[in-house]
């Protein structure tokens, strides 16, 4: 069920509805009366294929608010206005949406959208805290352009990011085993500049890291994403730190990890960088006879550095460190053997192996991973969509943490 409250961001909910429907979900839309001032009922009916009601006095014989609340697999409210949050927190049932929220027995996700002053007001924050205490997943709003010239926290996350949360919550099947955990996830791929135009990089898209973020949020965690050159909508409900190079990523991860319970290094971090960056674009020799040489130096091992920082007390006691290994086989060993050697060197609690031979995995919707533990246990292969693989990884992390 998609609830839509009366805010300008209601237009984004139409796109969310289409994404959910195209993914195969059967969606019933329940707008508030004020939401119809922004998007009319004909739009909701056309996109969902179902009639649209706003009050408990319509379809009385079907007891609509009870039927919707009991039959839904998930209720997502986007946008959730300050007024709707207040009414839900106080248990009011003065329209069909509020009444349905009272009868819902499935997971409930609320995506707030409002002016910054309304979001940070103590009354709204208290209502959000109340709903979260009751098990409602209330996402933090995105930061950005609001109505008019205002900018700040209060923007509705992009529909694609909200759709990913829906997928994650459905995969989680009501599990909240990460509640209260502070999670840091690196995602994407670093880029090391050669000159103002060129860089050394890799093919990581950030899809798996962002799926891990959405899955962790769905399971109750507070998530910070260190995002390296990712061209995807920010994960809804996550705090996002943007970086470019390996050195920038190291600083951002170390800073965020100082208060983390779990750190997942899903980003593809460059092992090397140019020793010097040219101030101007390196020109091609017109004759083609001379090719410039690029001297490389090693980047720091961010993952091993995290493990060392934990041993030195730089990370909280009991912090779980998870690494990723994108490997291929070669003349010396196969991908698994290389990953097992990396696990022994790094000292992490869990290593996720991607065999990327032939360019597999990067930018693709699916993944295939093995989960390697220091005791020699090999869990998997886990094969499926990246959201499904994310849940398999979090299942293992939850097991490690007891």
User: Helix (H, G, I), strand (E, B), or coil: what is residue 191?
Assistant: coil
Angle at 3 between CA 183 and CA 49, to 5 degrees: 120
* Fold match, 2-156 / 171-400: yes
Residues 6+ apart with CB under 8 A from 164: 210, 211, 214, 235, 236, 387
The more confidently predicted of residues 62 and 279 is 279
At the fourth CATH level, which superfamily is domain 171-400?
CoaB-like (3.40.50.10300)
pLDDT of 85 higher than 90: yes
* pLDDT, position 145: 83
The least confident of 68-72, 229-233, 264-268 is 68-72
Cα 147 from Cα 66, distance rounded (Å): 35
Work out the average pLDDT over 1-24.
95
SS3 for 364? coil
Instruction: Give residue-wise pLDDT tens across range 342-376.
Output: 999 999 999 999 888 766 677 688 889 999 999 98
Clarify whether 202 is annotated catalytic: yes
Q: What is the pLDDT of residue 359?
A: 63
C-alpha torsion sign, points 7, 11, 12, 18? positive
Residue, of 383 and 357, whose pLDDT is higher: 383
The yes-or-no verdict on residue 5 having pLDDT over 70 is yes
Task: Provide the pLDDT for residue 54.
Answer: 84
pLDDT of residue 230: 96
Domain boundaries, the chain: 2-156, 171-400
Q: Quick: pLDDT tens for 217-258.
A: 999 999 999 999 999 999 999 999 999 999 999 999 999 999
* pLDDT tens readout for residues 282-304: 998 888 788 889 999 999 999 99
Does the domain at 2-156 match CATH 3.40.50.1950? Answer given as yes
pLDDT at 147 over 90: no
Query: What value does the mean pLDDT take over residues 109-126?
Result: 96
> How far is 320 from 216, CA to CA, in rounded Å?
14
- What pLDDT, on a 0 to 100 scale, did the predictor assign at position 304? 94
Give the pLDDT confidence score for residue 331 in this predicted structure.
Answer: 79
pLDDT attached to residue 65 = 62
Does residue 215 have a pLDDT over 80? yes
**Catalytic pick from 127, 202, 299, 354?**
202
Residue with tokens 């291929």: 328
- pLDDT of residue 62 exceeding 70, the answer is no
Residue-averaged pLDDT of the chain: 92
């Amino acid at each position: 069920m998609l609830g839509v409250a009366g805010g300008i961001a209601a237009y984004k909910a139409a796109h969310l509805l289409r994404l959910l429907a195209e993914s195969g979900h059967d969606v019933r839309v329940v707008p508030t009366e004020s939401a119809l001032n922004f998007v009319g009922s004909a739009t909701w009916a056309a996109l969902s294929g179902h009639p649209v009601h706003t009050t408990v006095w319509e379809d009385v014989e079907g007891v609509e608010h009870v039927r919707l609340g009991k039959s839904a697999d998930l209720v997502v409210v986007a946008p959730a206005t300050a007024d709707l949050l207040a009414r839900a927190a106080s248990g009011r049932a003065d329209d069909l949406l509020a009444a349905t929220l009272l009868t819902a027995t499935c997971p409930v996700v609320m995506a707030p959208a409002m002016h910054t002053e309304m979001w940070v007001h103590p009354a709204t924050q208290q209502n959000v805290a109340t709903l979260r205490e009751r098990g409602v997943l209330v996402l933090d709003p995105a930061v950005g352009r609001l109505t008019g010239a205002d900018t700040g926290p209060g923007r509705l996350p992009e529909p694609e990011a909200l759709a990913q949360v829906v997928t994650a919550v459905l995969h989680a099947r009501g599990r909240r085993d990460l509640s209260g955990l502070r999670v840091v996830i690196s995602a994407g791929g670093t880029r090391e500049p050669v000159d103002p135009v060129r860089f050394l990089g890799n093919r990581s898209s950030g899809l798996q890291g962002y799926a891990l973020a959405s899955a962790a949020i769905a399971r109750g965690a507070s998530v910070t994403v260190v995002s390296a050159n990712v061209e995807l909508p920010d994960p809804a409900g996550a705090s996002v730190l943007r970086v470019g190079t390996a050195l920038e990523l190291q600083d951002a991860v170390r800073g965020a990890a100082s208060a983390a319970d779990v750190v997942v290094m899903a980003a593809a971090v460059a092992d090397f960088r140019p020793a010097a960056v040219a101030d101007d674009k390196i020109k091609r020799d017109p004759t083609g006879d001379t090719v410039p040489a690029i001297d490389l130096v090693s980047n720091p091992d961010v993952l091993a550095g995290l493990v060392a920082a934990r041993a030195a007390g730089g990370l909280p006691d009991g912090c779980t460190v998870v690494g990723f290994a994108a490997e291929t086989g070669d003349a010396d060993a196969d991908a698994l053997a290389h990953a097992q050697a990396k696990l022994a060197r790094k000292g992490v609690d869990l290593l996720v192996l991607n065999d990327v031979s032939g360019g597999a995995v990067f930018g693709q919707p699916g993944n295939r991973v093995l989960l390697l533990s220091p005791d020699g246990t090999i869990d998997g292969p886990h094969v499926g969509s990246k959201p499904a693989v994310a849940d398999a990884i979090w299942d293992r992390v939850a097991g490690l943490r007891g």
